[in-house]
Amino acid sequence: AALISGQDVDGTGSRIEIHLQPGVMDPVASSTEMALRDAGLPAKQVRTGRAFVMKNSVDREQLKTIASRILANGVIESIHFAPYVPKEFESPHEQPFKLRHVPLVKLSEQELTKLSREGHLFLSLVEMQAIQKHFHSLEREPTDIELETIAQTWSEHCVHKTLKSAVDVRDESGKLIRRYDNLIKETIFNSTVELMNRRADNFCLSVFKDNAGVIAFDEDDAVCFKVETHNHPSAIEPYGGAATGIGGCIRDVMGTGLSARPIANTDVFCVAYPDSRDPTGRASSLPKNVIHPKRILQQVVAGVRDYGNRMGIPTVNGAVYFDDRYVGNPLVFCGCVGLIPRDKIAKRVDAGDAIVLMGGRTGRDGIHGATFSSAELTDTHADEFSHAVQIGNAITQKKMLDVILQARDRDLFSAITDCGAGGLSSAIGEMGETTGATVELDKVPLKYAGLRYDEIWISEAQERMVMSVPQEHVAEILKLAFGEDVEATVIGTFGTENEELILNYRNTEVGRLSMEFLHSGLPMPTRSATVRGVGVPPAHTRPEPQKHGRDAHATSWFRDRLLQALAHPNIASKHWIIRQYDHEVQGGSVVKPLVGPLQIGPSDASVVRPKLNSQKGVALACGLAPHIEDPYAMTIASIDESVRNAVCVGAHPDRIAILDNFCWPSVDTDQSMGDLVRACEACRDAALAYGIPFISGKDSLNNQFTDTATGKVIRIPNTLLISAIGVIDDVRQCVTMDLKGRTNRVVMIAARDPDDLNSLAATHRAVAEIIGGGTVLSAHDLSDGGLFVAAAEMCIASGKGLIVGAEQLMTGDAFTERPGRYLLELSDPTSVEDLRSRVAPHAEVTEIGLVQHLRKLTVTSERERVLEIGLDEMTEAWRGTLDW
């Protein structure tokens, strides 16, 4: 609930002030304090706020509604109806130190379950019993910090225990049909291993073992790619959740190997429709404590914008998907690509190395973020987990990046990772797994007084990295950081006699855990999964009314259907988002997010040139299809779309790698677990058929919202984001999707059997080779909206028209969506037959039409114009929906 204070002010001039609550990161205030200090002026306390004055008379209740539902987020802000001028700002005070033990050893099963939930541990009864057994063997109770450390390390968010679990897979009759000892290892990971063994080019350099996957770029450098989710924090505080989501993903790249230089960002948002309606057409009411989806989208966009732009990293690729099932649990995917020298990919932690903490200071923000992200959301979480919200400061991270890259090039550290979920607990716990570590928690720099030792340890305060620094380099790295106005502090050492994690605070040992138990003690019970419809061909196509013929009624239907499709939020232009992002910073953009003469066309993928003295580039694309119910078909469609998008700009499947990001509502039933199994199997099958390896991934498996008052559960659709990265040898050969020249032919290439993975793979390779041959002037994949929409988008992007035969366009297949289809504009009209021979027998080539100078999409039949739609009308429909 929002904090509201001050007397009510009625009438003209009603005033509302919004201020950050005590302890919340205030980047503008921090920069102001620094500027004042640099100028030699006193800066004891600085805070920022926002003031709103209402021109018209507003009564008390209206004012409160405006303030709490539109202007402020009560999770992090307080509301005042009178000028807020305190004598001094509130700030936390030092707390007396007291070591706390948690009675655990003698608890009953019911009491263990209660402790797990009320203590925000979110561990299962079996896991709590394993902890109980461990401390019983030690003949003592755990301290609070030990219990928090175990909960963080064992959280779904950090250890991915569901995907790593053993699974018994049964059909709908209950018959056991197969068993996995480790689901993700035996599907996705093993497919990558098999592909790496097939090829001798060392394309995959580091997969599934670092903060990001790494592939070869050129002889000197590699590129790495990571995509993360930040769903639960963004549901509570969208701006901060998205900003720290992209900030954390950037740090993943900074913490890959011995640090990569970020060169591009990506983002994908899944939210409810901004004008959600119930089946009767009335505006639907939102569940309690749920932020309006339009506000969520505006703020997550602002969060990614502000963080990426301020760090000087171009945001070049992404998507937005609308579905009302995301109303209580929006999805926020953030990605980052980095460039890293090949000789800096490997890292190690040596016993005796200093533990150096660099970057921002530690506060209460983000506490229990890892465990919170492992639970489902309810309407009470905004109050209960306000401490799990993090606020970022991009300028601090930019300065830290500059220091890290200099230190890397001087060989001053041997390992690095970021403080993400779990904070220091996760970073140091993982880095010291084989060596042990001793940490002096009172040496950690704090934002303010009053933090307990356990809060220091598990805080997810942003902009922090942990390094393993040989003792002989400690002084130099601290000096380097100081010179760039970046804090760096030695907080401990790696290496203990028995490979333990030892935590000290004010000369008192507050925690001691065996690294063996911490990282290998998690019980992994066998899960049960039921798969549905095995052997039934997946339905890739959205159901569409079947319309045939060219009578007046059918013609009107096709016209209306096209304009409706172009205006659909999932198809409509996202220019209002794209234009907020700086995709030109660093100077390497080649294929931009919007293309064509007026830069309004929806590019299939983006291409950047990381090294400005080279013509080699990196293509970035994505695919997702949560509207498809069948999990296997949904996965294939997502993978296929990401590959098609990359191929359309000039990438070849031999030089493409992909990432998976699973977002599931839950896996608490055999069927939902079965859906996850089928998605993993589809990932394996597609990777092997396409010859495209997975190099990294992430999962978020508790994305559903429960209204505690009604008990209603809103489950998101099974959602799998596939992100593709391709290396392009010469960016001068790239193509875009806008039509180029009058009378050029436009053809459709379509896999003959969209359910045959080998047919799809052969189609993608053939199209990639055709594009590489230089005869293709423009290329566009057929995805949302099918053939008719793709043709219209090519017209909109170019400002040119298209003449299309009615027999090609005005059929019941005009709006269908299935994998393996492209539209290509050809420079040589004689090349159509050559295309047919090159794609046979896996795909077929259909001549769609000719580019025309008139600004119309014209459908003809036997020299008669059956349908004409003006370019301006199509553009208005496409750009108007989300032109906010």
Q: How far apart are CA 764 and CA 104, in angstroms?
A: 57
Can you state the percent helix, strand and coil of the chain, rounding each to 5?
Answer: 35, 25, 40
Are the C-beta atoms of 654 and 764 separated by less than 8 Å? Answer: no
Q: How far apart are CA 28 and CA 51, in angstroms?
A: 16
Instruction: Give the residue carrying structure tokens 């109303």.
Output: 327
Taking Cα atoms as reference points, which of 593, 642, 781, 136 lies closest to residue 128?
Answer: 136
CA end-to-end span of the chain:
29
Q: How far apart are CA 381 and CA 371, in angstroms?
A: 13
| Residue 673 burial by Cβ neighbours in a 10 Å radius (0-12, 13-18, 19+) | buried
Residue 693, preceding peptide bond in cis (omega within 30° of 0): no
Structure tokens at 620: 């970035």
State how far the alpha carbon of 641 is from the alpha carbons of 624, 781, 818, in Å. 7, 8, 9
Q: How far apart are CA 393 and CA 461, in angstroms?
A: 10
- What region, left, alpha or beta, does residue 281 occupy, with left being phi > 0 and alpha being psi -120 to 50 degrees? left
| Residue 573 burial by Cβ neighbours in a 10 Å radius (0-12, 13-18, 19+) | buried
| Residue 449 burial by Cβ neighbours in a 10 Å radius (0-12, 13-18, 19+) | exposed
DSSP character string of 47-79? --EEEEEESS---HHHHHHHIIIII--TTTEEE
Q: Starting from the edge strand earliest in sequence, which strands make up the sheet with 213-216, in order?
A: 204-206, 213-216, 221-229, 331-341, 261-271, 315-322
For the range 86-95, what are the long-range contacts, defined as Cβ-Cβ under 8 Å and sequence gap of 24 or more? 88/45, 89/22, 89/45, 89/47, 90/22, 91/22, 91/45, 91/448, 91/449, 92/22, 92/23, 92/448, 92/449, 92/450, 92/451, 93/449, 93/450, 94/449, 94/450, 95/449, 95/450, 95/451, 95/452
Q: Give residue 89's Cα distance to chain centre.
A: 36
DSSP H helix total and E strand total for the chain: 27, 38
Are the C-beta atoms of 192 and 693 separated by less than 8 Å? Answer: yes
Structure tokens at 242: 């998205």
Taking Cα atoms as reference points, which of 705, 718, 713, 714 lies closest to residue 674?
Answer: 718
- Alpha-helical (H) ranges within 575-720 are 575-578, 631-648, 670-690
Q: How far apart are CA 419 and CA 801, in angstroms?
A: 52
Buried b (16+ CB within 10 A) or exposed e, 604-632: bbbbbbbeeeeebbbbbbbbbbbebebbb
- What region, left, alpha or beta, does residue 717 occupy, with left being phi > 0 and alpha being psi -120 to 50 degrees? beta
Beta bridge partners of 262: 338
Q: How far apart are CA 349 and CA 58, in angstroms?
A: 62
- How many residues make up the chain in this entry? 884
Annotated catalytic residues are: 157, 230
Structure tokens at 466: 């942990």
Q: Starting from the edge strand earliest in sequence, which strands make up the sheet with 713-715, in order?
A: 377-378, 704-706, 713-715
Taking Cα atoms as reference points, which of 288, 187, 194 lies closest to residue 683?
Answer: 187
